[in-house]
Amino acid sequence: MPSATVITGLRVETLVPLEINLSGKLALVTAASRGIGFGVARVLARAGADLVINARDPEALRRAREAIREETGRHVEVAPGDLTRREDLERIAAVAREVGGPHIFFFSTGGPRPGRFLDLGMEDWDYAYRLLLYPAVYLTRELLPAMIERRWGRIIYLASLAIKEPMPNLALSNVVRIGIAGLVRTLAREVGSYGVTVNGILPGIIHTSRVEELARDIQAREGVSYEEALSRLSSGIPAGRLGRPEEVGYLVAFLASDYASYINGAMIPVDGGRQVSVF
Ligand code: NAD
């Protein structure tokens, strides 16, 4: 491997090219048949990780597995299941344990129903908790002890920029996902001394079918064209475009690597500069 010697003051450092190498690591990625979860799974496999991927639809999940295997040659196991159902979560955790217990856990999930506060019933709030927070807690409880025992682990939860800057018409996401931030900080403090890091990612607007669904919702509510609805969603992004799922994946791969061993308890935006507030 090429190297260069650089003299900085009295210290001599040998610099080698940086490369994220996750070979020998197993990652569980939930909600991974498409969208952000799929993009993250692809990038982790490209970095050398083997995978267990989850989503509700077994057929879509198998297609995702074939695409990732073909591209990367990595081992990919499937664990179909609905993240809102406890019995399915038990099965997902069992599959992950059977193949060796994940070193890396990336949590994504489905999107909650769009709506303003008074559009939503209590059943929507119950379901949002079951979808956005409950499976993150359940799977973490199942997977964390092995990470602690191994003295190495990476937990990365997907939340949303909406927890810093509430988004119009997404009351459930704005409110319920804040629990993920509490989970990140709580766990980072409790397990950081065991070589386990716990971080969160706050996507802005990433071009997936979820964003297309949100655009259709704006179109129906506000009587504007689909193109106008999509351009409203992307307005105010300094990068001038929507993000790509893989751009979340690159951050996940970095957080999952040893380069990020001193980053713990962080909530990091991937938003093309969309966040307006300072903190
Ligand atoms: P997507 O619709 O493209 O993909 C969602 C994935 O989740 C699919 O694989 C689907 O099968 C799976 N899924 C849905 N419900 C599930 C369930 N109950 N159990 C198991 N799997 C389930 O969506 P996306 O854009 O990739 O969004 C992923 C998450 O990120 C969502 O919670 C979304 O609200 C959130 N988010 C997305 C954006 C964005 O801009 N795309 C921004 C912030 C937050």
Q: Which residue has the higher pLDDT, 83 or 210?
A: 83
Kindly tell me if the per-residue pLDDT of 183 is higher than 90: yes
- Which of 3, 38, 37, 1 has its CA nearest to residue 21? 1
Nearest CA to ligand 1 atom 31: 111
Which residue out of 108, 172, 174, 180 has the highest number of ligand 1 atoms within 8 Å of its CB and is therefore the one to mutate?
Answer: 108
**Mean pLDDT confidence for 100-126:** 96
Over residues 251-262, the pLDDT tens digits come to 999 999 999 999
List, in order of start, the domains of the chain with CATH numbers: 20-205+244-270 (3.40.50.720), 207-242 (no CATH)
Over residues 44-66, the pLDDT tens digits come to 999 999 999 999 999 999 999 99
How close is the Cα of 169 to the center of ligand 1, in Å? 17
Which residue out of 54, 109, 218 has the highest number of ligand 1 atoms within 8 Å of its CB and is therefore the one to mutate?
Answer: 109
User: Where would I find the beta strands (DSSP E) of the chain?
Assistant: 4-8, 11-15, 26-29, 50-53, 76-78, 104-107, 153-158, 196-203, 267-270
| Residue 4: burial class (beta carbons within 10 Å; 0-12, 13-18, 19+) | exposed
Residue 214 is predicted with a pLDDT of 87
How high is the mean pLDDT of the chain? Answer: 94
User: Where would I find the beta strands (DSSP E) of 100-233?
Assistant: 104-107, 153-158, 196-203
- Residue ranges lining ligand 1, Cβ < 6 Å: 31-37, 55-57, 82-84, 108-111, 131, 158, 160, 173, 203, 205-206, 208-211
Kindly tell me if the per-residue pLDDT of 9 is higher than 80: no
Q: Which residue has the higher pLDDT, 8 or 213?
A: 213
Residue 2 is predicted with a pLDDT of 46
